[in-house]
Structure 1
């Protein structure tokens, strides 16, 4: 199976915040943003594995700055690590206010997707080869983030999380 780089999965999406996308205060609703982020992450995952994908998990999403009615939302997504059948996708989100002419960070998150074969069973994905320093940093951290996800999901015993233990226990 051929390897891929994060750049090959890079996806950029832009949306305009309309009245139907906002809450009572004129801010973009979190659920709408998560919906758009899920689409961008799915496209990045599909670009990596050339197969249909499904969302397996969404990590903590914290909102640093609200995105207002009339502003533009920019979402960037790319694969940070491929495991056996799953991929971690890192997303960055910015708002852009054209009236005031500035762009600001709204949030970032990690999504996990699983590739599917024609029978809708998990299938292997190409391994990822990070190239830039940032990509290498995200790649290395992905194993620890995966262990946290597995522990929280009840799929891994905390005592088996060697990468996480190494952060807290010095021998």
Structure 2
């Protein structure tokens, strides 16, 4: 028997949030605002992370938000969230968003995003989270991808903050020649 106090399976906190897209969620073009969808994704990430952690969780980063297809008024949007990775106090929650037209039965994948959440204790400080039991090959693949995603993010942040790689505008102006901009200084 696995100690669920210190480890929880991916299936324990898997969460699906479904909501009807109403006219007040739409922009002037009749499509659902991206901000509405981001808010729903944040709710799904919170529900999933908090269930796994057994504590309040806060959003630290959101990555991979690419709106692949528009969401229409009247569609049912389902946000499928699962914990893909856990650190000491953090969790990465993957969210797959699908929209369903109930009349035509057409289902479309609108985006996949990754939310990094941190568990907070009663003292409002980061607190340890249970480990993750990978029940399927898919769970292991997602965990490994999350490790790669974290490595790439750390490398990117290091490069940007490294004083040796800070762009010197004058040295890099030639890069702008092929871009849709005009330098006016």
Q: TM-score range by the shorter chain?
A: 0.7 to 0.9
The corresponding residue for 2:56 is: 52
Cα distance, 1:154 vs structure 2: 5.0
Residue 31 of structure 2 corresponds to residue 30 of structure 1: no
Whole-angstrom CA distance in 2 between matches of 1:114 and 1:149: 17
For residues 1-150 of structure 1, the aligned pairs below 5 Å read 1-150=5-154
Cα distance, 1:155 vs structure 2: 9.9
Query: 1:38-59, CA deviations, whole angstroms, 9 ceiling, x for partnerless residues?
Result: 0001000011110011001000
Whole-angstrom CA distance in 2 between matches of 1:90 and 1:116: 20
The corresponding residue for 1:164 is: none
TM-score (norm 2): 0.80
Whole-angstrom CA distance in 1 between matches of 2:144 and 2:60: 20
Contiguous gaps of at least 5 residues in structure 2: 163-185
Rg larger in structure? 2
Cα distance, 1:153 vs structure 2: 4.6
Structure 1 vs Structure 2 CA RMSD: 1.9
SS at match of 1:128: strand
SS at match of 1:143: helix
Give the count of matched residue pairs. Answer: 158
Whole-angstrom CA distance in 1 between matches of 2:159 and 2:71: 36
Contiguous gaps of at least 5 residues in structure 1: 159-171
